[in-house]
Amino acid sequence: MPKLIAKPDDKLKRLLITNIEYECSIRDINKKRQLLIAQCSQPTYDKKIKDPGKFTVEELLRFANKFRIPIEKLFMERTC
């Protein structure tokens, strides 16, 4: 049976979460501080991590500002 190819939308969502987690890990930003950055409750944040399409532009902009990167970098693939 052939392997299913992920939808581009799903790939972009995974990439967004991967980049947020990566930036948080290199800056030692724990889950509690992530909640403060996103300005939402734990259950709401967990829902947004499961479906990143629910993040607002403002929330993503807060993350980008905290990481001191342009917001576009949250959606870019990293190269080694």
Global pTM reads 0.84
Does the structure show a pLDDT above 80 at 3?
no
Task: Write the pLDDT tens digit of every residue in 18-77.
Answer: 999 999 999 999 999 999 999 999 999 999 999 999 999 999 999 999 999 999 999 999
Residue 18 near residue 61 (C-beta atoms within 8 A) = no
Hey, where are the domains in the chain?
44-75
**How do the residues of the chain divide into helix, strand and coil, expressed in percent and rounded to 5?**
70, 0, 30
Other C-beta atoms lying within 10 Å of the C-beta of residue 12: 13
